[in-house]
Amino acid sequence: MKVSRVLIEGKELLMKAEIYQPLRESKLIICYVLDVNINNSLLDIEKKITSSQKKRILSLLIRRSRGEPYAYITKSVLFFGFTFYINRNVLIPRPETEELVETLLKIIKFKNKKYKLLDMGIGSGVILASLLMHLPNAYGIGTDISLKALKVSKINLNNLKLNGRSRLVNTNWSECLKDNSFDIIVCNPPYIANNHIKNLHREVKNFEPLKALKGVASGLESFISLLPSARRVIKNNGLIIFEIGFDQAKIAKKALEEKNFNVHKIVKDLSGIERILIAKPN
């Protein structure tokens, strides 16, 4: 059977399942199975595929039609120019989180300095790894309450040869870490309010780890709970940067000020939402 036929069959299957951009998604899966780089190569639709390749493509298309995200099917995601391993124990990184990394790197004037970084709730490790790749003399610690998430971040740090410049700690936020230790703290805590969980897209609600998304009642409980220990471990001249949810900037700013932080800047994302909070210790 030719690729063209499988491509059309895949498109029809995904269209019936109401998958956004079904033709593109079908092409992505075919390219993945055939090991074709969709960004650099044209898919030869006249190429014949083997029965085993067709079987593999069909099985992945069925998974996609059931709403399983492409990133979990392929166990990989592109983030800030790097390819990372991913599985269902960690969230799929969003473009907003790339904006967090980009914003922080713009603030840091001296890229070769020996910064000590802390990524609280490291998850897949994409934030810490991306920062370390751009800050060649920095050292980073990543914490997470989930051992399964730490296994994923360890793979990603090792794949980018960053294991010698990083350490992973199984703890809640910054508990058990030394006082006054970090120059820069980054955090993308759970911030979706409980009453908004039901409105999440099925691909998020049914497949991504909700514990990493749910910020309890208001969405900011996790954020507020981590501030005392974050204030304890950050250096007096340090910098802390958070990703927050829609319409949370005002409350988050007040919470930071109550815990002896001074909000330095609030940055809007590409959708115009106040998404990134940058603060310094008082």
Structure tokens at 93: 């990184």
Q: Is residue 28 part of a domain?
A: yes
Give per-residue pLDDT as tens, 259-269: 999 999 999 99
Using the predicted structure, report yes or no on whether residue 175 has a pLDDT greater than 90: yes
Using the predicted structure, report yes or no on whether residue 90 has a pLDDT greater than 60: yes
Mean pLDDT (whole number) for 94-113: 96
**Residue 262: predicted pLDDT:** 96
Using the predicted structure, report yes or no on whether residue 116 has a pLDDT greater than 90: yes
Q: Is residue 173 part of a domain?
A: yes
Q: Is residue 190 part of a domain?
A: yes
Closest to 118 (Cα-Cα) out of 178, 206, 47? 178
Closest to 72 (Cα-Cα) out of 211, 210, 212, 208? 208
Using the predicted structure, report yes or no on whether residue 123 has a pLDDT greater than 80: yes
* Element at 151 (helix H, strand E): helix 147-159
Helix (H, G, I), strand (E, B) or coil at 260: coil
In the chain, the percentage of residues whose pLDDT exceeds 70 is 96
Using the predicted structure, report yes or no on whether residue 105 has a pLDDT greater than 80: yes
Mean per-residue pLDDT over the chain, rounded: 93
Where does a domain end: 19, 39, 66? 66
Domain count, the chain: 2
Give the integer Cα–Cα distance in Å for 137 and 115: 7
Q: What range defines the domain where residue 31 resides?
A: 3-66
Stronger pLDDT, 31 or 197, i.e. the higher one: 31
CATH no. for residue 176?
Answer: 3.40.50.150
DSSP state of 90: S
* Domain match, 205 and 254 both: yes
Rg (CA), the chain: 21
Per-residue pLDDT band for 226 (boundaries 50, 70, 90) equals: very high
In the chain, the percentage of residues whose pLDDT exceeds 90 is 83
Using the predicted structure, report yes or no on whether residue 214 has a pLDDT greater than 70: no
Give the integer Cα–Cα distance in Å for 113 and 147: 31
Using the predicted structure, report yes or no on whether residue 215 has a pLDDT greater than 60: no
* Domain match, 56 and 140 both: no
* Domain match, 268 and 243 both: yes
Q: Is residue 171 part of a domain?
A: yes
**Residue 211: predicted pLDDT:** 77
Stronger pLDDT, 238 or 205, i.e. the higher one: 238
Give per-residue pLDDT as tens, 32-71: 999 987 765 567 888 899 999 999 999 999 999 999 999 9
CB-CB contact of 256 with 223 (8 Å): no
Q: Is residue 71 part of a domain?
A: no
Structure tokens at 276: 């990134």
* Domain match, 160 and 211 both: yes
Per-residue pLDDT band for 216 (boundaries 50, 70, 90) equals: low
**Residue 191: predicted pLDDT:** 85
**Residue 218: predicted pLDDT:** 66
* Domain match, 116 and 242 both: yes
CB-CB contact of 216 with 184 (8 Å): no
* Domain match, 54 and 83 both: no
* Domain match, 271 and 236 both: yes
Where does a domain end: 43, 66, 89? 66
* Domain match, 109 and 249 both: yes
Where does a domain end: 66, 93, 119? 66
* Domain match, 188 and 113 both: yes
Q: Is residue 263 part of a domain?
A: yes
56, 59, 64, 67: CA torsion to nearest 10: -150
* Domain match, 88 and 57 both: no
**Residue 15: count of CB within 10 angstroms of its CB:** 15
Give the integer Cα–Cα distance in Å for 207 and 68: 6
Give the integer Cα–Cα distance in Å for 162 and 33: 29
* Domain match, 57 and 178 both: no
238, 153, 130, 220: CA torsion to nearest 10: -50
* Domain match, 187 and 261 both: yes
